[in-house]
Each structure stands twice: as structure tokens, then as C-alpha cells.
Amino acid sequence: MLKHTLIHPEINAILGRAGHHSRILIADGNYPASSKKGPLASLVCLNLSPGVVTVTQVLEAILSAVPVDQVQVMGIPADDPYAALGEPPVWNEFRRVIAASGSKTPLEPILKWDFYRHVESPDHVLTVQTGDRALWANVLLTLGCRTE
């Protein structure tokens, strides 16, 4: 019986095979999950309907199961109309979940096209596609090591 809150069998299996530096993408409902992924990555679709499930919910479950060294978000290019609005509100939700997990890992924005290149790495092992409607809600986790 699992003690963490992540109970999805396929996601648990992939995380169990992943190692230090493996990358996990939690993608919002707008992310091109079938075409922007690593050559070895699996895709798990949890996008049941618009808004269900959210990136924040998946982030919380995954952080209950694995340590992370890095948390990167898709940054907004300066020429994008959304850039004038400032930081996406969902990023504060991510910070709250990260802190609640006991991690002190900061969010690191990576501009959109560089973010895609980071995802397309051979280290990318999993994309979890959500139905999240929040804009700029893509999170790329780099797994850490067990230290205990």
C-alpha cells in the first residue's frame, strides 16, 4: 500500500523507473503534449474535461512521491500580450504547493521556446497532460536524489 498521495499506477511505475535528473512535465490543457516531448517520454492524459484535473493538483501528488532538484515554469516572451499582465497567478499556487511539500526549490521561468527544448531532452521521461485552463501553467520538474 502506498503512503504518498499519488495513486495513479502508470505514473507511479514511470516515477519508479526514473532516476536523478529525469524530467517530468505537468502540462496545462493548451500544451502540445503529443509533439513537444522527449524521445523516450511517456504521455499520461488526465485531461478529463476543461479544468479537470489541474496542474496544481498533479504537482501536489507528484511532490508527495519524489524529491525534486529543480522546478521550471514556461516563461512568457516579452512580445506576448500576456507579458504586460505580469506573472501568471497560477505560479503562486505552485509556490504554495512546493512549500507545503517541504521543498525550498524556487520556480525558475524559462522562456517558451527554450522551455520546449528543455522538455525535448532525452532526460524527459513523462508528460502528464491536464485539463488545466490557466495560462502559462506548465511545470517541468527535475528529479532529485533520495537522501535518507
Residue-by-residue DSSP string for 108-139: EEEEHHHHHHHHTSTTEEEEEE----STT--E
The answer to whether the CB of 133 falls within 8 A of the CB of 14 is: no
Per-residue pLDDT reduced to its tens digit, 5-57: 999 999 999 999 999 999 999 999 999 999 999 999 999 999 999 999 999 99
Q: Which three cell numbers stand for residue 1?
A: 500500500
Mean pLDDT score of the chain, rounded to an integer? 95
| pTM for this entry | 0.96
Domains annotated on the chain, with CATH: 9-143 (3.40.1650.10)
* DSSP secondary structure letter of residue 30: T
Per-residue pLDDT reduced to its tens digit, 87-110: 999 999 999 999 999 999 999 999
Residue 1 predicted with pLDDT over 70: no
Q: Which of 48, 28, 24, 26 is nearest to 88 (CA)?
A: 28
How crowded is residue 20: how many other Cβ atoms within 10 Å of its Cβ? 12
